[in-house]
Chains A and B, each alone.
Chain A
Amino acid sequence: MKKDLSSDALEPVAGNGLLHRRLFLTQGAAVLGSGVALMTARNASAAPLEVPATMKTPGVPASGYGERSRFESKVQRITNGAPPTPGTGGSRTPLEYLEGIITPNPLHFERHHNGVPDIDPEQHRVLIHGLVERPLVFSLDALSRYPLVSRIQFLECSGNSAGMNTPEPAQQGAGGLHGLVSCANWTGVPLSILLQEAGVKPEGKWLLAEGADAAGMSRSVPLAKAYDDAILALYQNGERIRPSNGYPVRLFLPGYEGNMNVKWLRRIKITAEPTMTKDETSKYTDLLPNGRAEMFTFPMGVKSVITSPSGTQKMQGAGLYQISGVAWSGTGKIRRVDVSADRGKTWAQAKLDEPVLSKAIARFRLPWRWDGSPSVLMSRATDEAGNVQPTRAKLMADRGPNYRYHYNAIQSWNVTAAGEIGNVYV
């Protein structure tokens, strides 16, 4: 294997310069060196190195709550204009600026239906009632004493990537197009424990989850999901959940469409049937060309997007690049991601960073030697159940342009000879 790599790693494994996924691993400094040479050959000589000013004066002291470098302030969540009623919109994660699999809390996407409530945890209560033997009220102090579970999992708005339904490709970056997805370490109380204490009656099959926001956001959830892996999440990446993500407690339903993960959770009512709330009938249902609509399309489909290089970025001249991107599936783990640099004619398997977790973002990478010619980059994810991310053409043919939610087609980035990168439909 090593021999193969050292001798052949710079040989393309798929069309238009895609190289073997192990090129960037430890094997063969000579191999890497020759790659780097491609990158650095344009710079003849660096300027003389001077001692930086930061070494000649003391830095600022420690602080109570950390801030990022002022040089990173350009990295912001993306909003698409003001909605008609303030507080009903959202903001997207700037995927193209991030690496790894964890979304920093201040950049986690938001979607609100009537603003972010300012909730005092001392006053907040979670009620479990309906078809139960014992209706119960829980304070936050009480919930905090329950056994906690902690998992790294993605959250995606059902309407993510809806901009890809337009007839002409919108020219936005990866975050602008697909940034209603984020991934965090969520820690909370298994809902199954609380349901057991309340004693669900045999006729109870669903629950209604309701938020304490001004929209009274509410969704019906099958009890099977509640027993499987649902939690009442209290922590997001180690700290208490952000107000914009449901402080002090939200329902978290791994893999299910975002708005079912009701924020500011105040009430769970066990019911025999779905409640048929506005946000599971009028909205978040999927209209097909035959005029019929699907409801309760809960899991988010298998999906991926290349974040580097990606839309609105610019190539820095021909040479060796690392393609990097994110993949996820509401059904389980990502099994593989394939990448194409020639408009989908040939594909090469990308390397997946460890860990690859169930219903979490996985980070994929693949080396690419760009020769400076026009190219189209694509990524195609496959999950452990064998679901394969569809082409946009297939998705649009199957479900028409008015489906609106659950868009999960392959994203294509067009790279021009000048190095401009844009969204393109293939």
Chain B
Amino acid sequence: MSTCKPMVAAFVLFASAGAVAQEGPHLGVPVSPADVAAWDISIGPSGAGLPQGSGNASAGASVYNTKCIACHGEKGVGKPSDQLVGGNGTLHDAAPVRTVGSYWPYATTLFDYIRRAMPWPQPQSLTPDEIYSLTAYLLFLNGVVGETDVMNATTLPKVVMPNRDNFDVAYHEPRRR
């Protein structure tokens, strides 16, 4: 289990770090938020930063069958890469099946990950509409949204994943002294 005892010394170090941080030579070049837009691709659970665009499951199916099926199988059954669909109710089993539907706690992670890393041979090649559509398709296959539900910057963060409340955070902020 992850219950290793932390060292008290680490807390002291942290608490004083702000005061003792060394002075640096200030060589960072200021940059405007607009100029970092192309790099700022991470999307957290709030959905802040999600781009314009939208898509539903039927549009997603055609993208999936063109660009994803070779690795993830028909309708996300997996092989050779991860199974994306199914496995609901198996997390207590001897052989749990962890998929988007059975395990992932946040729907925004789908958008974030597909955009940055998929399809595997051509990451960052999909348009926002394609990513929203694929996200909708995978959520639909997992019974999380309806076939015609539209995913966009407003609707996606509101999707509640089935396994959302079954994670416990093991990390605890050190106490300040």
Binding site for B on A (CB under 8 A): 84-85, 88, 113-114, 127-129, 134-139, 142-143, 145-147, 189-190, 192-198, 205, 208, 210, 214-216, 218, 222, 224, 227-229, 266-267, 269, 271, 273-278, 281-282, 285-287, 289-299, 301-302, 329-332, 383-387, 398-399, 401-402, 406
Q: Does B51 contact A (CB under 8 A)?
A: no
Whether B167 pairs with A275 at a CB distance below 8 angstroms is: no
Whether A275 pairs with B92 at a CB distance below 8 angstroms is: no
- Give Cα A286 to B169, complex, Å: 11
Whether A295 pairs with B168 at a CB distance below 8 angstroms is: yes
Proximity bits, B151-170, A CB within 8 Å = 1, else 0: 00000000000000011111
Cβ-defined partner of B30 (8 Å) among A134, A190, A332: A134
* Residues in B whose Cβ lies below 8 Å from that of A229: 13
State whether A290 and B31 are in contact (beta carbons under 8 Å apart), knowing that A222-B171, A228-B14, A406-B2 are contacts in the complex: no
Closest 7 CB pairs of A and B: A136-B28, A84-B80, A216-B116, A297-B2, A142-B27, A296-B171, A227-B17
What's the minimum C-beta distance from A144 to chain B, rounded to whole angstroms? 9
What's the minimum C-beta distance from A365 to chain B, rounded to whole angstroms? 25
* Residues in A whose Cβ lies below 8 Å from that of B42: 208, 210, 218, 269, 275, 277
* Residues in B whose Cβ lies below 8 Å from that of A139: 27, 29
* Residues in B whose Cβ lies below 8 Å from that of A277: 42, 109, 112-113
* Residues in A whose Cβ lies below 8 Å from that of B45: 273, 276
Whether A274 pairs with B4 at a CB distance below 8 angstroms is: no
Proximity bits, B4-42, A CB within 8 Å = 1, else 0: 111101100110011001111111111111001001111
What's the minimum C-beta distance from B23 to chain A, rounded to whole angstroms? 8
- Give Cα A281 to B100, complex, Å: 10
With both beta carbons as reference points, the residue of chain B lying nearest to A296 in the complex is identified as B171
State whether A287 and B106 are in contact (beta carbons under 8 Å apart), knowing that A85-B81, A134-B30 are contacts in the complex: no
State whether A331 and B6 are in contact (beta carbons under 8 Å apart), knowing that A277-B42, A289-B92, A292-B166 are contacts in the complex: yes
* Residues in A whose Cβ lies below 8 Å from that of B173: 205, 222, 224
Whether B36 pairs with A281 at a CB distance below 8 angstroms is: no
Q: Which residues B110-125 have CB closer than 8 A to chain A?
A: 112-113, 116-117, 120, 123-124
What's the minimum C-beta distance from A9 to chain B, rounded to whole angstroms? 35
* Residues in A whose Cβ lies below 8 Å from that of B132: none
What's the minimum C-beta distance from A271 to chain B, rounded to whole angstroms? 7
* Residues in B whose Cβ lies below 8 Å from that of A401: 94
Interface of B is mostly: loop
Whether A278 pairs with B109 at a CB distance below 8 angstroms is: yes
State whether A136 and B30 are in contact (beta carbons under 8 Å apart), knowing that A274-B44, A276-B44 are contacts in the complex: yes
Cβ-defined partner of B21 (8 Å) among A190, A210, A267, A332: A190
What's the minimum C-beta distance from A103 to chain B, rounded to whole angstroms? 23
What's the minimum C-beta distance from A274 to chain B, rounded to whole angstroms? 7
* Residues in A whose Cβ lies below 8 Å from that of B120: 85, 88, 114
- Give Cα A224 to B44, complex, Å: 20
Q: Does B86 contact A (CB under 8 A)?
A: no
What's the minimum C-beta distance from A156 to chain B, rounded to whole angstroms? 13
- Give Cα A323 to B1, complex, Å: 29
Q: Does B71 contact A (CB under 8 A)?
A: yes
Q: Does B98 contact A (CB under 8 A)?
A: yes
* Residues in A whose Cβ lies below 8 Å from that of B21: 190, 192-193, 195-196, 227
* Residues in A whose Cβ lies below 8 Å from that of B39: 127, 266-267
Q: Which residues B28-73 have CB closer than 8 A to chain A?
A: 28-33, 36, 39-46, 71
State whether A138 and B28 are in contact (beta carbons under 8 Å apart), knowing that A127-B39, A277-B112, A286-B2 are contacts in the complex: yes
State whether A292 and B167 are in contact (beta carbons under 8 Å apart), knowing that A135-B31, A330-B4 are contacts in the complex: yes
Q: Does B128 contact A (CB under 8 A)?
A: no
